[in-house]
Amino acid sequence: MSYPPQQYTAEAPAVSATLRSGDAPVDLTIGARSKVSYLATGETTNGMFGLYRWDLQAVPPPDSLPGGHFHRTMAESFYILSGTVALGDGEKWVDASPGDYLYVPPGGIHSFANTSGEPASMLILFAPGGPREAYFEELADITAKGRELTHDEWVELWARHDQYEATITTG
- At 13 the pLDDT is 96
Residue 132: inside a domain, yes or no?
A: yes
Mean pLDDT check: name the lowest of 63-67, 93-97, 161-165: 63-67
Spell out the SS3 assignment of the chain: CCCCCCCCCCCCCCCCCCCCCCCCCCCEEECCCEEEEEEECCCCCCCCCEEEEEEECCCCCCCCCCCEEECCCCEEEEEEEECCEEEECCCCEEEECCCCEEEECCCCCEEEECCCCCCEEEEEEEECCCCHHHHHHHHHHHHHHCCCCCHHHHHHHHHHCCCEEECCCCC
Residue 145: inside a domain, yes or no?
A: yes
Instruction: Name the amino acid, one letter, at 124.
Output: I
Residue 15: inside a domain, yes or no?
A: no
Residue 90: inside a domain, yes or no?
A: yes
**What is the span of the domain harbouring residue 150?**
28-166
With 0-12 / 13-18 / 19 or more C-beta atoms within 10 angstroms meaning exposed / middle / buried, residue 47 is: middle
- At 58 the pLDDT is 79
- At 170 the pLDDT is 67
Q: Distance (Å, rounded) from C-alpha 83 to C-alpha 114?
A: 9
- At 169 the pLDDT is 75
CA distances from 41 to 47, 124, 130, 146 (A): 8, 11, 8, 27
Domain count for the chain: 1
Q: How many CB atoms lie within 10 A of CB 60?
A: 8
**CATH code of the domain covering residue 38:** 2.60.120.10
pLDDT in tens, 51-83: 999 999 977 766 777 889 999 999 999 999 999
User: What average pLDDT does range 32-47 have in this prediction?
Assistant: 94
Residue 171: inside a domain, yes or no?
A: no
- State whether the Cα torsion 31-91-80-40 is positive or negative: negative
Residue 101: inside a domain, yes or no?
A: yes
**pLDDT of 47 above 70:** yes
Residue 22: inside a domain, yes or no?
A: no
CB 100 within 8 A of CB 83: no
- At 132 the pLDDT is 94
- At 89 the pLDDT is 93
pLDDT in tens, 4-39: 999 999 999 999 999 999 999 999 999 988 999 999
* Band of pLDDT at residue 171, cut at 50, 70 and 90: low
Residue 68: inside a domain, yes or no?
A: yes
pLDDT in tens, 137-162: 999 999 999 999 999 999 999 999 99
